[in-house]
Structure 1
Amino acid sequence: MTFSMTAFAREEASTPWGVLSWELRSVNHRYLEISPRLPEELRPLEPAVRAAVNKRLSRGKIDCNLRFRREAGDAGQDIDTGA
């Protein structure tokens, strides 16, 4: 069983709304220190991200970066100016 490790991982997933990109970096650290960085729209997910990392790791300094890119044709929300 590995108790400490320095690592880097990146994963992308396409969704109907855009592309999500995760980057995880870890370095050896005596305690578990989780630093999530999420887009403003996804900030409410921070406790779930912390819980998921905490469930699998017991030590290390972990940087979790989530980026979101909208698809080229997605203009966001439409505003009804006639209402």
Structure 2
Amino acid sequence: MVRTPLTPEERERGERLGALLREARGARSMVEVAAGAGLSAETLRKIETGRAPTPAFFTVAALAEALGLSLDDVLRRCAAVPA
């Protein structure tokens, strides 16, 4: 299966999501947060570093719950920034 290249906007949105997750995680370890969301620490690492800039909705929802974030807040903070 060939994936289409990500647009610059998709990459930027992924970077904003990663930054939000790192900020919300605070002093908690990746292992702790990933386990709370039912993910591997490597998956969380990829999302936080932008190597997985388009995670599945259910992955984002699980992380938001584990971090105490509302999906509305995630959307608001990761949506495209108007030019």
Give TM-score scaled by structure 2 length. Answer: 0.30
Higher helix proportion: 2
TM-score w.r.t. length of structure 1:
0.30
